[in-house]
Amino acid sequence: MSIFSIFKRGLEKSATKISRVVSTIFTGTKIHGAESFDDLEALLISADFGVAAALQITGEIRDRYERGQISTDADLIMAARDEVAAILQNGKRAVNQPENGGPAVILMVGVNGSGKTTTIGKLAARLKGQGKKVMLAACDTFRAAAVEQLQLWGERTGTQVIASKHGADPASVAYDAASAALARNVDYLLIDTAGRQHNQQNLMAELEKIRRSVNKVYPGAPHEVWLTVDSSLGANVVNQAREFSKCAGVTGLVITKLDGTGRGGMAVALHREFDLPVFYIGLGESPEDLQEFDPELYADALFGLEEK
């Protein structure tokens, strides 16, 4: 299966929802007057694109329509697709790497059930498949199943997991993991953390403690702090991203569970609101369903277009 096919399958529900939105704006080849743009804006917001992105996309479509560049629903789809791709391309970058050539440390944060541990396991599988040497750190010491789950991924991928007993200090585990990663010259250290709600200030402060602990043994680390967001939660993930960014210094996003919802617009909303690059998206249960984020493929699949 091609990468685009995985994108298209995973975003099928979103594409269907968006096509229904467009069909309410057009009848045949005619837009229903100027008020249709207000309807389009509202419908994009309801499709989880967020207010800022919906305004930007609608404004671009209105401008093209007034210049005579849109006369069919297909034209509208392409205009919206181009604007979404442009929004998502802005700020796209490679994963930060340490200047000294040591291991890149990625700290994964997020609320309970957002898919942190599974994402780390799938990411380890991807990196190992690319010939990279990977180490995992089990810093979710409050949920015994999380350590076991990460150790299972370690066994499946042939990746070492640094862990401790249930209830151990997560910052201490992170310190040990950073020390081991440096000593064993790995390419990537992926740190799992306990799920926490964005309004639990004491637990949010713990993330800063983990950051300080890693930085103490390895100055400059972590090089990335990625927030996993469960797309099925809808607009609430915007509040999550805002609070985690304040407390944990989030540098990028991983958007999970896109295959089970019609909320593909959420990636656009989050990127437009916080200017945070999306590094990976979860489009299913298999390891290959964690895909590097490609704005062009995403925009094509989101609007139900065919592979080019």
Q: pLDDT tens, 179-238?
A: 999 999 999 999 999 887 766 677 778 899 999 999 999 999 999 999 999 888 877 788
Distance CA 154, CA 136 (A): 8
pLDDT for residue 53: 92
Who has greater pLDDT, 286 or 255? 255
- pLDDT of the residue at 162: 97
State the residue for tokens 């959420």: 266
What's the average model confidence in pLDDT over 280-293?
87
The shares of helix, strand and coil residues in the chain, as percent rounded to the nearest 5, are: 55, 15, 30
Rg (CA), the chain: 21
For residue 64 the two structure tokens come to 């093209």
User: What's the CATH fold of domain 104-250?
Assistant: Rossmann fold (3.40.50)
Mention every residue, 6+ apart, whose C-beta is less than 8 A from residue 51.
Answer: 45
* Average confidence (pLDDT) over 122-151: 92
Average confidence (pLDDT) over 90-113: 92
pLDDT at 275 over 60: yes
Confidence bin at 283 (pLDDT 50/70/90): confident
Instruction: Please compute the mean of the pLDDT values over residues 238-246 and round it to a whole number.
Output: 86
Find the mean pLDDT for residues 137-142. Answer: 91
| pLDDT at 289 (0 to 100) | 84
User: Would you place residue 14 in the very low, low, confident or very high pLDDT band (cuts 50, 70, 90)?
Assistant: confident
Q: What is the pLDDT, as a whole number, of residue 254?
A: 95
The pLDDT score that the predictor gives to residue 298 is: 93
CA 155 distance to own-chain centroid: 25
Q: pLDDT-based confidence at 71, cuts 50/70/90?
A: confident
CA 112 distance to own-chain centroid? 15
> Can you give the pLDDT at residue 37?
82
Is 40 within 8 Å of 32 (Cβ atoms)? no
Share of the chain above pLDDT 90, in %: 48
Higher pLDDT, 173 or 43: 173
CA-nearest of 9, 35, 142, 82 to 295 is 82
Mean pLDDT along residues 150-164: 95
For residue 209, what pLDDT is reported?
92
Helix (H, G, I), strand (E, B) or coil at 157: helix
**For residues 77 and 244, what is the distance between their CA atoms, to the nearest angstrom?**
34
Q: What percent of the chain has pLDDT over 70?
A: 95
Nearest to 141 by CA among 198, 195, 216, 204: 195
Please count the CA atoms within 13 angstroms of the CA of 190 that sit on its side-chain side.
28
| CA 30/CA 150 separation, integer angstroms | 54
Task: Quote the mean pLDDT of the chain.
Answer: 88
Residue 286 has pLDDT above 70, yes or no: yes
* pLDDT band (50, 70, 90) for residue 2: confident
Q: What is the largest CA-CA distance in the chain?
A: 66
Instruction: For the beta carbon of residue 281, count every other beta carbon within 10 angstroms.
Output: 26
pLDDT at 236 (0 to 100): 77
* Residue 255 phi, psi (nearest 5): -105, 120
Q: What are phi and psi of 74, to 5 degrees?
A: -65, -40
